[in-house]
Amino acid sequence: MISKTKFIGAVEIGTSKVSVLIGELTQGRTLHIIGVGECQSRGVIKGAVADFRAASDATHTALMAAEQSAGVRIDEVYLAQTGGHLEGFYNEAAVNVSAADNMVSALDIDTVCRLAKSKNLPEGRMVVHHLRRPYRLDGRLAPDPLHLVGQRLEAGYWTVHGPEGKIADNIHVIRGFNVRVAELILSSLASGAMLASPEDRQNGTLVIDIGAGTTDFVLYRDGSAQMTGVVPVGGGHLTNDLSLGLRLTEGQAEKLKLRFGRATLATKDRAEKVWLNGDFAIGDRQFSRHGIEQITSARIWEIFEVVKKKLGPAFSPEKTAAGVILTGGTAKLPGIDEAAAKVFGVQARLGEAPGWVAENLRDPGFSSVLGLLQYGLSSRAEAASAPRKGASWVSKLFATV
Amino acid sequence: MSQSSVNPPPSRTWRDIPQSVTPRAMSREGKKRFAMAVGNIVGMVLVLGAAGWGIYEVVGIWETNPTRITAAASGVPLKDIALRTDGVLDKAWVLRTLDLPKNATLMELNLADLHQRLMASGQVQSAVVTRKFPDLLIVTLQERSPVARVMAQIGGTSPQPLMVARDGSVYSGAGYASPLTEALPFIDGVKLLRQGEGFARIEGMEQVADLLGEAHTSTPELYRTFRIVSLARFAVDSTIVVKSTEVEAITFGLRADLPFARQLARLDYILDETRRQNPTGPLKAVNLAVGGNQVPVAFDTPAVTADGRAPRVSLKPSASSPSGTALFSLPPRSLSSSKRDF
């Protein structure tokens, strides 16, 4: 008997926290979020596992919390992947249509796709994603060129790759919980899947997910992802800057960031002071509000500038009509949309989860992990439409060992 | 284009990373899950093994000495019969009908045969016979209820009354109280056809049951006077003729616009008015199957009063009708003392 319900865990092992959602996937089509677990992250630096044991403990604690809240056991995991170790490149290929009547066949499409994906990777690196851009037939866009008539078929792939060791570390953290990793999904793609509507992707949009240790971005155009990237700078650096600049502990700096940090300068009065704790106890100190805003806004602007530089000529305001969508924990910083709009020269807004998402999961910090489930659901639907191979309850039983 | 450039070696993807993991590399929770998974497999193997061994043993015994299997199942003699019924049949009747052999065990009983014996009685509409181990036989019956009687002669014996159920089944009733059966009217005008050990079903009994049921409920005084229900004209003009102690022939029709309840109300009114006025003596026939607000009635004497005038209320002699017949006009509902809808 084939199981009709699957419990999928969406796991994001971030620099500051580990988030887990459990989705109940019924008949491969309907998804219900039934459990959530969170835990402060340990052993992860800039999205990469640095201390396997600490990272495993934190991740497994979050997994257990999610399983307890859902009351079920996870069957498989969709794992978010981020970190400065991930890189990407674009490669394209073209073939002459083989049929005498110039009608594109499945073989032509298969050939051009294989050629476009065939670029060798540096030693020790492996592919995380092949993101195909729309086909072109004789220079014109052809989302599905099968049976169209033309002479030259072109395909291009944005390939995301990373070092085998670091990718394997993330997978092994999950395998330590004795659950299989079914999908490895780039964090930025997950956030994009959640926040950018099909219209946004068609018109062109840039989704930026600013986490604690990294900033992930994905640029959409013509309905598909054109380019992705990871900047190893995030909200944690704002805290670090405040800590160094104002000579505070990390905890104190984090508190100041959350209370008074801004992405743009709003305080006109340079003499305005704010208290560290506000309780006037011993150790409570005053700081210039303008100074705090200067430090945080400078770093945010720097992050956006780095993203813009990484995008290079791929980004142009004219081709990004849907603007910039911001998400991630640091996106809660006041004025961040204003800063993004100024840097990128397009409108910017905070990403909003769709209406079906529960109130407690609408925080920008959950957009990646929600997107993992969304992405997983669509990949499941694609897999379901493909011919089945013998997946049975026996294989499911043995798959967990 | 060379073959190698068309079929380049695929790049390694994250899916090439082996996901096998040793318990040593697992966390405590991971090990727990691993142990549970192993336990599942071991449990499954044990269950399958036990099932396989059981099948092997049974097959082995069956091939070598089958009586051991039947003996194991048929060791305890039948102790009791539990009867569940919605009618009047009792346990004694069931025992008589089943005629079980003494000291029979549950497994020795042929349930299909017992079921057939129960169903041979027309009174039983459905029967379920189940074994309840170790020593109880459960008989669940659904019985037919009689709505009328019919006289039938079986073989050379004198005619005897049989029961007729709503579905037309004819059967000799058992267990009914005498006052109940004696109050049932007889069915007439039908030809009983033999079918196997019993009789074929009587057509039209459903309508008769509706009529009698309505009469029993809404006009019990009238129902008590019903003696014979004739189906002689049922197939010809869809009418049911009832002979009562008061009227020789009351004709009821199967009319959608005039249900039995209204026909009975008309009859009741006509009988009441006739008794009250007593213009012409007792009624001989009432035909409720025809007419609108006028009901043809027949009397033993002509439907005119002694002074040659028409009766005072509603009773209009028909000029063209034969002597002794009249049309009984029903009053509008607003003028009816009983406010009944005729």
Looking at B121, B143, B165, which one is the last position of a domain? B143
For residue A398, pLDDT over 50 is answered with: no
Between residues B341 and B220, the one the model is more confident about: B220
Per DSSP, the three-state class of A6 is: strand
> In whole angstroms, what is the distance from residue A324 CA to residue A195 CA?
11
CATH number for the domain including B92?
3.10.20.310
> In whole angstroms, what is the distance from residue A221 CA to residue A242 CA?
37
How do A215-221 and B226-230 pair as beta strands?
Answer: unpaired
Residue A108 lies in a domain: yes
Instruction: Return the minimum-mean-pLDDT range out of A43-47, B65-69, B220-224.
Output: B65-69
Residue A149 lies in a domain: yes
Looking at B128, B143, B158, which one is the last position of a domain? B143
Residues B223 and B250 in one domain: yes
Residues B175 and B202 in one domain: yes
Instruction: Return the minimum-mean-pLDDT range out of A61-70, A352-361, B275-284, B331-340.
Output: B331-340
As a whole number, mean pLDDT of residues B248-274 equals: 88
**Would you state the pLDDT for residue B140?**
94
Instruction: Return the minimum-mean-pLDDT range out of A130-134, A179-183, A219-223, B253-257.
Output: B253-257
pLDDT digits (tens, 9 = 90+) for A267-305: 777 788 888 777 777 777 888 889 999 999 999 999 999
Residue B252 lies in a domain: yes
Residue in B5, B6, B11, B32 to test binding to A, most A beta-carbons within 10 Å? B11
Q: Residues B32, B37, B38, CA angle at the centre, nearest 5°? A: 95
Q: In which domain, by residue range, is B307 found?
A: 146-335
Residues B128 and B181 in one domain: no
Q: Residues B46, B52, B55, CA angle at the centre, nearest 5°? A: 140
**Would you state the pLDDT for residue A306?**
95
> In whole angstroms, what is the distance from residue A56 CA to residue A178 CA?
12
**Would you state the pLDDT for residue B131?**
85
CATH number for the domain including A95?
3.30.1490.110
Chain B's closest residue to A59, CA to CA, is: B27
**Would you state the pLDDT for residue A209?**
94
For residue B68, pLDDT over 80 is answered with: no
**Would you state the pLDDT for residue B47?**
96
Is the reported ipTM for this assembly greater than 0.85? Answer: no
Measured between beta carbons, which residues in chain B are less than 8 angstroms from residue A161? 11
Looking at B122, B143, B164, which one is the last position of a domain? B143
Residues B196 and B308 in one domain: yes
Q: Do B26 and A120 touch (CB under 8 A)?
A: no
**Would you state the pLDDT for residue B2?**
45
- State how far residue B26 is from chain A, nearest Cα, in angstroms: 4
How do B226-230 and B186-188 pair as beta strands?
Answer: parallel
Q: Which two tokens stand for residue B97?
A: 């009908």
Burial class (CB in 10 A: 0-12, 13-18, 19+), A25: buried
By Cβ distance, the residue of B14, B19, B40 closest to A126 is B14
Residue A115 lies in a domain: yes
> In whole angstroms, what is the distance from residue A331 CA to residue A212 CA?
10
pLDDT digits (tens, 9 = 90+) for B105-114: 888 888 899 9
Residue B311 contacts residue B281 (beta carbons within 8 Å): no
For residue B77, pLDDT over 60 is answered with: yes
Residues B206 and B193 in one domain: yes
Q: How many beta-carbon pairs under 8 angstroms link A with B?
A: 88
Other C-beta atoms lying within 10 Å of the C-beta of residue A322: 21
pLDDT digits (tens, 9 = 90+) for A361-387: 888 888 999 999 888 777 666 655 544
Which DSSP string corresponds to A116-130?
HT-PPPPTTEEEEEE
Per DSSP, the three-state class of A156 is: strand
Q: Do B33 and A176 touch (CB under 8 A)?
A: no
Per DSSP, the three-state class of A81 is: strand
Other C-beta atoms lying within 10 Å of the C-beta of residue B127: 20
Percent of chain B with pLDDT over 70: 82
Mean predicted lDDT score pLDDT of chain A: 88
> In whole angstroms, what is the distance from residue A72 CA to residue A75 CA?
9
Torsion over CA: A77, A49, A127, A158 (sign): positive
Instruction: Return the minimum-mean-pLDDT range out of A45-59, A330-344, B268-282.
Output: B268-282
Band of the pLDDT at B335, cuts 50, 70, 90?
low
Residues B174 and B282 in one domain: yes
Instruction: Return the minimum-mean-pLDDT range out of A128-142, A184-198, B103-117.
Output: B103-117
For residue B189, pLDDT over 50 is answered with: yes
> In whole angstroms, what is the distance from residue A71 CA to residue A85 CA?
36
> In whole angstroms, what is the distance from residue B331 CA to residue B40 CA?
85
> In whole angstroms, what is the distance from residue A335 CA to residue A350 CA?
10
**Would you state the pLDDT for residue A392?**
45
**Would you state the pLDDT for residue A162?**
93
Per-residue b or e along A353-371, where b marks 16 or more CB atoms closer than 10 Å to that residue's CB? beeebeeebeebbbbbbbb
Q: In which domain, by residue range, is A113 found?
A: 87-161
Angle between helices A164-175 and A52-70 (to 10 degrees): 40
For residue A204, pLDDT over 90 is answered with: yes
Residues B138 and B186 in one domain: no
Chain A's closest residue to B25, CA to CA, is: A176
> In whole angstroms, what is the distance from residue B134 CA to residue B75 CA?
9
Residue B7 lies in a domain: no
Band of the pLDDT at B315, cuts 50, 70, 90?
low
pLDDT digits (tens, 9 = 90+) for A19-29: 999 999 887 67
Measured between beta carbons, which residues in chain A are less than 8 angstroms from residue B10? 114, 117-118
Domain total for chain B?
2
Q: Token match 């009635």: residue?
A: B297
Q: Is the peptide bond before B134 cis (omega within 30 degrees of 0)?
A: yes
Residue in B4, B7, B19 to test binding to A, most A beta-carbons within 10 Å? B19
> In whole angstroms, what is the distance from residue B234 CA to residue B226 CA?
18
Between residues A47 and B44, the one the model is more confident about: B44
Residues B155 and B258 in one domain: yes
Q: Which two tokens stand for residue B320?
A: 């063209």
Q: Token match 């079980």: residue?
A: B100
Residues B122 and B251 in one domain: no
Residues B135 and B114 in one domain: yes
Mean predicted lDDT score pLDDT of chain B: 81
Percent of chain B with pLDDT over 90: 29
For residue B303, pLDDT over 70 is answered with: no
Measured between beta carbons, which residues in chain A are less than 8 angstroms from residue B21? 172, 175-176, 178
Residue B17 lies in a domain: no
> In whole angstroms, what is the distance from residue A65 CA to residue A379 CA?
26
- State how far residue B21 is from chain A, nearest Cα, in angstroms: 7
Q: Do B33 and A171 touch (CB under 8 A)?
A: no
Interface of A with B (CB under 8 A): 56-57, 60, 63-64, 73, 111, 114-115, 117-121, 126-128, 159, 161, 164, 167-168, 171-172, 175-181, 184, 397-398, 400-401
Residue A321 lies in a domain: no
Closest CA to A84 of A159, A163, A190, A174: A163
Band of the pLDDT at A399, cuts 50, 70, 90?
very low
Q: Do A401 and B41 touch (CB under 8 A)?
A: yes
Q: Do B14 and A128 touch (CB under 8 A)?
A: yes
For residue A216, pLDDT over 80 is answered with: yes
Which DSSP string corresponds to A350-390?
E----TTS-GGG-SGGGHHHHHHHHHHHHHHHHHHHSPP--
Is this model's pTM higher than 0.80 or not? Answer: no
Residues B220 and B240 in one domain: yes
Q: Do A171 and B14 touch (CB under 8 A)?
A: yes
Amino acid making up residue A211: G
Residue in A178, A179, A184, A398 to test binding to B, most B beta-carbons within 10 Å? A178
